[in-house]
Chain A
Amino acid sequence: MTARESIHRHAFRTMGTTVEMVLVGGELTDALGAFALAETLANQWERTFSRFRPDSELSRMNAAAGHPVVTSVELFSCVSAAANASRQTAGLFDPTILPALLAIGYDRTFADIAGAPADPPAPAPAPGLTGIQLDPATRTITVQPDVRIDLGGIAKGMYADVLAARLSGWPGGAISAGGDLRVWGISPSGNAWQVGVEDPSRPDRDVAVLGLSDGGVATSGISRRSWRRGRQSVHHLIDPRTGTPARTGIQTVTVTSPTAMQAEVAATALYVGGEAGTTLARILPLISNAIIVRETGEIREITGNLEERPHASNVNVA
């Protein structure tokens, strides 16, 4: 890339978070068209996947639990991907944890959650895939009467991947949907993209910078979404096996994978499953690289089985 080539940046609020975009090369008018496309797609995603909008397609499907529902291509694809992710991670990633989230008070937007006085009710394991039936021929989904689906994280990853595919004609770009990140092509420096990994203790700093030319990155952690419920400190990363917030001694897990959606799935599963050998055996085939920041502040780098090896530099080992 020459110094004359343009860099176009855009950020906007959507889906309860901030979407950030960087496009390298091209003309301003084309970039404005790309940004308008990103916002249109984000509006479509909100109408489809938000669990906080009673009129979203997901909310209507959850409300119709027990009955078959013909769904859009987007919703069917995302639920199918979530089901596949659940199989790949032996249930550590599970889209049916919504009742457990509701039970600990995550029944409204995070900004509205106040410390509820009562302790949460007795937890129950998530029903998992047995609670969902998919019929690809008719795009029909049937969720069992006691099952509710949450697609928050994986839907944001899918958004970044779909938008990146739509903008693949650009020489280079980066899309972050609330942290679910997808990069491709040339970066503003002309080399691999330099992706900062947020320090959970000091979010204005990075614990590492990853060099990545093409792929997805996602970070799962509890630093931004923890609250009190009665006498307990709770957070949104539910262990489907118990129905309670996962306790693994980890602050954050950052994963690089071929897509943002896959990175989101692997980061969540690795956080929930912890550093146990059985977890790693499941997750390593899905990732290129992972950076774990433990509650003690220690940082661990893990190399996955996939080919692209992001170059980690400036790792600030605590």
Chain B
Amino acid sequence: MSDNQENQGEPSPNESTRDGKKLERAAKRQERETRAKRIILIGSLASFLGFFGLSVAAQPFSGAQVTGTQAPASAAPSHDDDDDDEDHGPALFTNGAQIRTRTS
């Protein structure tokens, strides 16, 4: 029996490589589509939140579902910006605390 006959019904090494590349391309295409859908979803959410003047900044917390919003970092300070906060950011969930005092 020739090699061709032995390999009948099975892809040749060349065919196998071609199929592998096809599968790889299909997988990549699917990944791109999934990513695009994700971007559209996030974009829609951002637009929705933008209506409220908010931006998305989810942060994890021990096993519970957490959603978070935070004013954009580039937001202009208020007219009577009287603060002292150096980071201008929230200081939650540190050192085992769920919320912190801030000296004023």
Interface on A for B, CB 8 Å cutoff? 1, 3-18, 20, 22, 28, 31-32, 35-36, 39, 46, 50-53, 109-111, 152-153, 156, 174, 176, 178-181, 183, 187-189, 193-198, 200, 203-206, 209, 217-221, 223-225, 252, 254, 314
Whether the pair B101, A17 counts as a contact (CB closer than 8 A) is no
8 shortest A-B CB distances, which residue pairs? A196-B97, A16-B82, A179-B102, A52-B80, A224-B84, A11-B90, A196-B100, A12-B71
Whether the pair B99, A52 counts as a contact (CB closer than 8 A) is no
> What are 21 A-B contacts with C-beta separation under 8 Å?
A4-B64, A5-B64, A6-B64, A9-B90, A10-B54, A10-B68, A11-B71, A12-B70, A13-B81, A16-B77, A16-B83, A17-B82, A20-B90, A111-B83, A176-B100, A180-B104, A187-B98, A194-B97, A204-B94, A220-B104, A252-B103
Whether the pair A22, B95 counts as a contact (CB closer than 8 A) is no
Whether the pair A178, B61 counts as a contact (CB closer than 8 A) is no
CB neighbours (8 Å) of B98 from chain A are 22, 174, 187-189, 193-195
Whether the pair B96, A219 counts as a contact (CB closer than 8 A) is no
A111 to B101 alpha-carbon distance, docked (Å): 21
Picked from B62, B75, B101, B104, the residue with its CB within 8 Å of the CB of A196 is: B101
CB neighbours (8 Å) of B78 from chain A are 13-16, 46
Whether the pair B104, A10 counts as a contact (CB closer than 8 A) is no
Whether the pair A225, B101 counts as a contact (CB closer than 8 A) is no
Interface on B for A, CB 8 Å cutoff? 49, 52-54, 59, 61-71, 75, 77-85, 88-92, 94-104
CB neighbours (8 Å) of A153 from chain B are 104
Are A9 and B92 CB-contacts (below 8 A) given A18-B85, A200-B103?
A: yes
CB neighbours (8 Å) of A8 from chain B are 66-69
Whether the pair B102, A178 counts as a contact (CB closer than 8 A) is yes
CB neighbours (8 Å) of A314 from chain B are 95-96
CB neighbours (8 Å) of A204 from chain B are 94
CB neighbours (8 Å) of B69 from chain A are 8-11, 32, 35
CB neighbours (8 Å) of B100 from chain A are 176, 195-198, 206
A6 to B67 alpha-carbon distance, docked (Å): 7
A3 to B70 alpha-carbon distance, docked (Å): 23
A277 to B80 alpha-carbon distance, docked (Å): 38
Are A18 and B90 CB-contacts (below 8 A) given A53-B79, A53-B80, A109-B80?
A: yes
CB neighbours (8 Å) of B68 from chain A are 8-10
In the complex, the chain A residue whose C-beta lies closest to that of B80 is: A52
CB neighbours (8 Å) of A32 from chain B are 49, 52, 54, 69
In the complex, the chain B residue whose C-beta lies closest to that of A197 is: B101
Given contact pairs A13-B78, A176-B99, a sample of 15 additional A-B residue pairs in the complex whose CB atoms are under 8 Å apart: A9-B90, A10-B70, A11-B89, A12-B71, A12-B75, A13-B75, A15-B80, A18-B88, A46-B78, A46-B79, A178-B104, A188-B62, A195-B101, A217-B101, A224-B85
